Structure 1
Amino acid sequence: MTAIFERHIHLEGAFNVRDLGGYAIGTGGVTRWRSILRADGLHELTPGDIERLLEMGLRTVIDLRSPVELENQPSPFHVHEAVRYNHVPLFSELAPVDLLTRGPGMFDLAARYVDAADRCRPAMGRVLAAVADADEGVVLFNCSAGKDRTGLVAAMLLSLAGVGHDEIVDDYALTGSVATPLLDRLRQQAVARGLPDDVALRLLSCEPATIRSLLSHVDERYGGFRTYFDDAMAAEHMNRVTERLT
């Protein structure tokens, strides 16, 4: 009997924990379920949430947040005997607080994603290596909202596994429907700090065109994520990631 998995993993203390399994691969088949998860902040997970993730097989966490974010909202897996914790800061300028305090003229997320792709290849390579070298079991990577930095990494991993652009875009856009309470909370916090409501909404949006611009840019400038990295070890890491997802 074929197992049936739910993409959105409903937890009490996190809103945007999702499985990268079940997406069609160009060569046939689908990405593997319960292998790699993407998530928002984990600092409010309940003991029951943590136990549920461990029962799913969680063994590796890759935290993409900045040191300041970690200090303010520590991960419950930072010191955990059953989980290997990796801190790989990825482009702190995509952190919600940073984005939401830059003012009305700085709301072009597509341009910010392209900038991140160009400037953060070494950090993206470290994320790739952390996934490739992870112990057997489920790998989870997360940032604060599970949308921007997490969205870039999800796009990379799915692309390497052979998932087409349309499904990668669909995966990105899911945040807008499954994480509404979190996005509303961030918007309210931004408005309370003086940011116009329309700007906050734009920065917290999950428009398909935003991630599609990133994918097009990586294709046009680098020939895709397969040739995005210039590290000699990258090919081996990409192969291990592909094996983990397929």
Structure 2
Amino acid sequence: MSLERLEIEGTFNFRDLGGPAAEAGESRVRSGKVFRADGLAQLSDRARADIGELGIGTVIDLRDIGERAKLPDALDGLDIRHIELPVFDDHFFPSRPLSREEMKAAAEATGMDLSDRSLGRIYELMITHFGHRLAAAVDLIAEHCADGVVFHCSAGKDRTGVIGAFLLDLLGVGRQEIVDEYAITSTHLSGGFLEAITRNFSDAGISGNLAQTATAAPP
């Protein structure tokens, strides 16, 4: 299967999820219907034209309110349905930076320690606290894929990567192919992306080990 990124200006990790063969050897994922991506806030006019040519009718934004407010999707001029489905239910990246006391109160209220932004902890929280949101995203993608759909978060790596893996698994794609499709993200997210995401996260008040959490996609 192709692991190449699509050259959509303003993105680093825009890919067609279609094409990988199922274990029986026959592709069950049609190309040109389901796409995954990083943030769409920096789309150029050319990029919007390219997205239109791809036939994408729906964008599913998996980011929290703090991310969306700072870097809204640049979809002006596109006849496209925009759906906000924050995987972390607007808890992980709030509309403003929280004080230490507010983070402690939030952790007590939700049962989540939001001060730990390590990759392992993010994935644990995603599954144990927000599995229903992941399932809702899969349902939405299935509902809109006939007309073309792209789902994305900020890096197109963790929230997007997990949902992509679930979709491929449900369609019978082999485990190693799924792992390879997930892990290729770290190749795309280097250099310019790391510089941009570090700047954007800092402006949004998001801290942590950005080099690891923003770009790492270990198999």
Query: Residues of 1 paired with 2:78 and 2:216: CA distance?
Result: 35
What CA distance in whole angstroms lies between the structure 2 residues aligned with 1:116 and 1:66? 13
Deviation at 1:55, TM superposition (A): 0.7
Counterpart-to-counterpart distance in 1, 2:155 and 2:184: 12
Identity, % of aligned positions: 31
The residue that corresponds to 2:47 in the other structure is 49
Q: 1:32 to 1:131 in 2, by over 3 A?
A: same
Per the TM alignment, residue 74 of structure 1 is displaced from its structure 2 partner at its CA by 1.5
Letter in 2 for 1:200: L
Counterpart check, 1:176 vs 2:186: yes
Task: Note the C-alpha offset of 1:58.
Answer: 0.7
Matches within 5 A, 1:55-94: 55-77=53-75, 82-91=79-88
Q: CA deviation at 1:142?
A: 0.6
Verify the 8 A CA contact 1:172 1:206 in the aligned structure 2.
no
TM-score, with length taken from structure 2: 0.76
Q: Distance in 2 between matches of 1:62 and 1:143?
A: 9
What is the CA-CA distance between 1:112 and the residue it aligns to? Answer: 2.2
Distance 1:189 1:206, change over 3 A: same
In structure 2, C-alpha distance between the alignment counterparts of 1:205 and 1:40, rounded to whole Å = 11
Change beyond 3 A, Cα 1:72–1:168: same
Q: Is the 8 A contact 1:63 1:142 kept in 2?
A: yes
The equivalences for 1:1-246 within 5 A come to: 7-30=4-27, 31-77=29-75, 82-91=79-88, 106=116, 108-134=118-144, 136-180=146-190, 181-187=192-198, 199-209=209-219
CA contact (8 A) 1:39 1:146 kept: yes
Segments of 5+ residues of structure 1 without an aligned counterpart are 210-246
Q: Distance in 2 between the 1:152 and 1:201 partners?
A: 19
Separation in structure 2 between the aligned mates of residue 187 and residue 76 of structure 1, nearest angstrom: 20
Deviates more, 1:25-34 or 1:13-22: 25-34
Change (3 A) 1:43 1:202: closer
Asked if 1 retains the 8 angstrom alpha-carbon contact of 2:38 and 2:156, the reply is: yes
Deviation at 1:64, TM superposition (A): 0.5
C-alpha contact (below 8 Å) 1:145/1:183 kept by paired residues:
no
Q: Deviations over 1:160-215 (max 9, x none)?
A: 1111222222112112112212123334667898978xx33222342434xxxxxx
Query: Distance in 2 between the 1:195 and 1:85 partners?
Result: 28
The 3-state SS of whatever aligns with 1:106 is coil
1:53-76 deviation per Cα after TM superposition (whole angstroms, max 9, x unaligned):
111111111000112222221213
Root-mean-square deviation (Å): 3.1
User: Displacement of 1:8 after TM fit?
Assistant: 1.1
Structure showing the higher helix proportion among its residues:
1
> Within 2, Cα distance between the matches of 1:157 and 1:175?
17
